């Protein structure tokens, strides 16, 4: 009896294997059409197969391949996902089809972007996102492409998609921060660049952008602190030095401002703005010191010769920088020296007793815009 039961079990197992290995006539017909490269007919058979046999993993897989041939990526993924839920048997083939089509479209998009065919690149990258919706690279490049087209809302949308999939993706954080910068949404810039610095404390660009954002928000203390941190990572960076110097200038900390502006000039002696700001800083120091002397005299106190010499020295120190700025501006086809610059130079000359040069620059100020 035991022997007969064992034989029966073997027979039943064999029948199960045979029935499992069988395929429907629709799938069989579809395979013949596929061999003939007649995908239209194959798809007709496979549509019937998945409707009649909803648990047939192979029918769903093959229909997914047919949809890939027709570039119907949404339906392709629907069929592939159903096949994988039913069985892992076709997992390798499905992965290969998705990978091949994704790579083809992504690489085509990169090629078009490099040739400045931005719309063509967007089309390819968008297709890549349909093929592999969970893969971030195409969303990143879409963000870049839309930025180049000045479609900043679409760019933001794609960078945000990257961050949904990979919250710590530094490229997306920085890309999104740069867009918020262009839109002057500085509070958003601060949040994103703070995150970028958390992810990489040595990210020089993120630190610099964070400093700029604080600066534009009017938070001078945080801006100065962050500029100084940025300079630790970017020693000698002229833009950072200039912006930090400007903050010291605005805070009436003229000695610090002059020191930093002169660091800019050490690297770029022909920097119009840096020359102008050093000259203006000395004039501002002169104005403040003059007020102190006037207040002293109003109280009946005498000003010393040393104090008067010091006041004169502020004006003298301003002149070479203002003259240099004027020289650079007058020689440039892009810059225009405005009336305020000539006026400041005139004031400096008048206060050191050079009336001729003072009047000459006052006339230039009248003729300037």
- Distance CA(181)–CA(190), nearest Å, equals 10
124: nearest Cα among 152, 150, 101, 90: 101
pLDDT digits (tens, 9 = 90+) for 229-241: 889 888 889 999 9
Instruction: Tell me which DSSP letter residue 334 carries.
Output: S
Across residues 128-136, what is the average pLDDT?
Answer: 96
Question: What backbone phi and psi angles, to 5 degrees, belong to 172?
Answer: -70, -40
Residue 116 contacts by C-beta under 8 Å, 6 or more apart in sequence?
none
Task: Return the structure tokens found at 298.
Answer: 């109003």
Per-residue confidence at 201, pLDDT binned at 50, 70, 90? Answer: confident
Residue 143 contacts by C-beta under 8 Å, 6 or more apart in sequence?
155, 156, 158, 159, 162, 172, 175, 176, 179
pLDDT at 218 over 70: yes
Across residues 336-365, what is the average pLDDT?
Answer: 94
Residue 8 contacts by C-beta under 8 Å, 6 or more apart in sequence?
none
pLDDT at 11 over 80: no
Across residues 154-174, what is the average pLDDT?
Answer: 95
Structural contact between residues 39 and 70, judged by C-beta atoms closer than 8 angstroms? yes
Across residues 274-295, what is the average pLDDT?
Answer: 95
Positive or negative torsion for Cα 331, 335, 339, 341: negative
Across residues 313-339, what is the average pLDDT?
Answer: 94
Residue with more model confidence, 273 or 17: 273
Task: Return the structure tokens found at 310.
Answer: 């010091």
pLDDT at 5 over 50: no
- Distance CA(37)–CA(71), nearest Å, equals 16
Structural contact between residues 319 and 352, judged by C-beta atoms closer than 8 angstroms? yes
Across residues 335-352, what is the average pLDDT?
Answer: 94
pLDDT at position 229, please? 87
pLDDT at position 10, please? 39
Q: Where are the alpha helices (DSSP H) in 200-271?
A: 204-216, 220-233, 238-250, 254-267
What is the percent of the chain where pLDDT is above 70? 94
| The model scores a pTM over 0.85 | no
pLDDT digits (tens, 9 = 90+) for 285-325: 999 999 999 998 888 899 899 999 999 999 999 999 999 99
Structural contact between residues 245 and 273, judged by C-beta atoms closer than 8 angstroms? no
- Going from the N-terminus, what domains does the chain have, and what CATH number goes with each? 25-89 (1.25.40.10), 265-369 (1.25.40)
Across residues 44-49, what is the average pLDDT?
Answer: 96
pLDDT digits (tens, 9 = 90+) for 75-98: 999 999 999 999 999 999 999 999
Structural contact between residues 199 and 230, judged by C-beta atoms closer than 8 angstroms? no
pLDDT at position 204, please? 81
pLDDT at position 329, please? 94
Across residues 178-207, what is the average pLDDT?
Answer: 91
- How much is the mean pLDDT over the chain? 91
Per-residue confidence at 205, pLDDT binned at 50, 70, 90? Answer: confident
pLDDT at position 22, please? 65
pLDDT at 13 over 90: no
Instruction: Map residue 335 onto helix, strand or coil.
Output: coil
């Amino acid at each position: 009896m035991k022997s007969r039961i064992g034989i029966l079990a073997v027979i039943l197992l064999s029948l199960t294997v045979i029935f499992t290995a069988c395929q429907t006539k629709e799938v069989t017909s579809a395979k013949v059409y596929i061999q003939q490269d007649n995908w239209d007919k194959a798809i007709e058979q496979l549509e019937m197969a998945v409707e009649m046999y909803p648990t047939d993993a192979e029918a769903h897989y093959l229909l997914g391949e047919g949809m890939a041939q027709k570039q119907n990526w949404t339906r392709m993924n629907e069929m592939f996902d159903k096949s994988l839920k039913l069985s892992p048997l076709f997992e390798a083939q499905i992965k290969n089809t998705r990978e091949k089509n994704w790579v083809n479209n992504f690489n085509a998009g990169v090629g078009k972007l490099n040739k400045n065919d931005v719309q063509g690149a967007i089309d390819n990258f968008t297709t890549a996102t349909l093929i592999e919706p969970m893969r971030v690279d195409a969303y990143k490049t879409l963000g870049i492409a839309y930025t180049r087209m000045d479609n900043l809302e679409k760019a933001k949308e794609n960078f945000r998609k990257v961050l949904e999939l990979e919250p710590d993706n530094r490229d997306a954080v920085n890309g999104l921060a740069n867009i918020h910068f262009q839109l002057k949404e500085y509070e958003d810039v601060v949040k994103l660049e703070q995150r970028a610095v958390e992810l990489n404390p040595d990210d020089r660009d993120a630190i610099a952008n964070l400093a700029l954002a604080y600066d534009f928000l009017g938070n001078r203390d945080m801006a100065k602190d962050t500029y100084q941190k940025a300079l630790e990572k970017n020693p000698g960076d002229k833009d950072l030095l200039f912006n930090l110097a400007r903050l010291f200038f605005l805070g009436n900390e003229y000695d610090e401002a002059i020191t930093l502006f002169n660091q800019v000039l050490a690297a770029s002696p022909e920097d119009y703005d840096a020359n102008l700001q050093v000259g203006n800083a000395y004039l501002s120091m002169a104005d403040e010191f003059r007020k102190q002397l006037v207040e002293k005299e109003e109280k009946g106190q005498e000003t010393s010769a040393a104090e008067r010499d010091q006041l004169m020295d502020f004006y003298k120190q301003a002149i070479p920088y203002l003259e240099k700025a004027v020289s650079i501006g007058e020689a440039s086809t892009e810059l225009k020296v405005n009336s305020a610059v000539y006026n400041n130079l005139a004031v400096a000359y008048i206060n050191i007793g050079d009336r001729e040069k003072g009047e000459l620059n006052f006339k230039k100020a009248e003729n300037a815009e």
